[in-house]
Amino acid sequence: MTTVATPRQSIRFHGRSYHAMVLSPEPPLADWLAGLDAWLARSPGFFFGRPVVLDLAVLQPGKQGVAELLQNLAERNIKVMGIEGAEPSWLDFAMPPLLLSGRQANSIPGDHPPAAAEASAPALSSDPAPDAAAAPTSAEAASLPAAAAPEAPPAQHPNSLLLDSPVRSGQCIVHPEGDVIVIGSVASGAEVIAGGSIHIYGTLRGRAVAGSRDSRARIFCRKLEAELLSIDGLYMVAEDMPAHLRGQPIQVWLEGDSMVMAQD
């Protein structure tokens, strides 16, 4: 009797990265929830279908508090995909998983943007100082061949994504590897997410999320009508944008923990 082995099918696993909105509740929780309700009243449906991460590092609610907070958010149609800043003992199997790491912004209207190219401070080394005994004596140094000057590393040019058509409502453009350039407008309800800067050569009515990999990124647009602007995790919603800059060509950048906006 001959038996034929049936090949076993393999199970494939893939690693992927996703952008998510982060909510960071602060005490007193009742006041924070009231503020969230006021914000949702101005922007209804903003969190619909969006992945949300809950950062509990400031609130520290304990196990019972986590369960109550998740219930409060579910009642507001906010679904949490993961939790940061919590103790593992606070979470049970039915709760979103504990994640490891992810920041909001003050608005400072700027009159004059900083120069486009700014010298960055040299990085500080954390290596300990070399042992004095390891340093060559002057005689030894004289006998050593002159060291060649280290070659400068080649300039790194991030990949840019060029879109030669408008971004329609409901579309989400994600390009984590570099800048996004839109030759046209971004409609209300559309979203552009970039690892670098975002350039909109038209009206920005939707959401622009820049700097997921570079805090020096900027947002440029010909006409500001945006629902939300974000750079490196700091964000500003339409109600917080300076009224005199609405409808104007602007650029946005970060200064510390503040988002700065100026007419371009």
Q: What is the pLDDT of residue 17?
A: 65
Where in the sequence is the domain holding 84, given as residue range(s)?
Answer: 21-90
What mean pLDDT do residues 91-111 have? 66
Domain containing residue 214: CATH number: 2.160.20.70
Give the pLDDT band of residue 8 (cuts 50, 70, 90): low
Domain count, the chain: 2
- The reply to whether 69 falls in a domain is yes
Q: 151 and 131 in contact (C-beta within 8 Å)?
A: no
**Is the bond preceding 28 in cis, omega lying within 30 degrees of 0?**
yes
Does residue 125 form part of some domain? no
Residue where one domain finishes, among candidates 90, 121, 147: 90
pLDDT at 48: 74
Could you report how far apart the first and last alpha carbons of the chain are, in Å? 82
pLDDT the model gives residue 16: 65
User: Where are the strands (E) in 49-97, listed by range?
Assistant: 52-55, 80-84
The dihedral region occupied by 45, where left means phi > 0, alpha psi between -120 and 50, and beta the remainder, is left
- 173 inside domain: yes
The pLDDT value recorded for residue 75 is: 92
Kindly report the number of other CB atoms within 10 A of residue 96's CB atom. Answer: 17
Residue 200: name the closest of 171, 155, 163, 235 by CA: 163
Contact indicator for 176, 158 with CB cutoff of 8 Å: no
**pLDDT one-digit tens code per residue, 48-66:** 777 888 999 999 999 899 9
d(C-alpha 33, C-alpha 31), whole Å: 5
Beta bridge partners of 220: 199, 251
Kindly state the percentage of the chain with pLDDT values over 90.
43
The CA distance from 137 to 149, in Å, is 21
Q: Does residue 177 fall inside a structural domain? A: yes
Residue 126 lies in a domain: no
Q: How far apart are CA 123 and CA 70, in angstroms?
A: 41
80 within some domain: yes
pLDDT value for 21: 77
Q: Above 80 in pLDDT, residue 100?
A: no
H helical segments located in the chain: 29-42, 62-75, 138-143
Question: 79 and 165 share a domain?
Answer: no
State the pLDDT at residue 41.
78
If pLDDT is split at 50, 70 and 90, which confidence band does 235 have?
Answer: confident
Structure tokens at 203: 């009206």
In a domain, 44, yes or no: yes
Determine the average pLDDT of the residues in 60-73. 93
Cβ(217)–Cβ(193) below 8 Å = no
pLDDT at site 202: 95
Cβ contacts of 61 within 8 Å, gap of 6 or more: 25, 29, 68, 69, 90
Residue 7 belongs to some domain of the structure: no
**CATH classification at residue 84:** 3.30.70.260
Mean pLDDT in residue range 109-129: 39
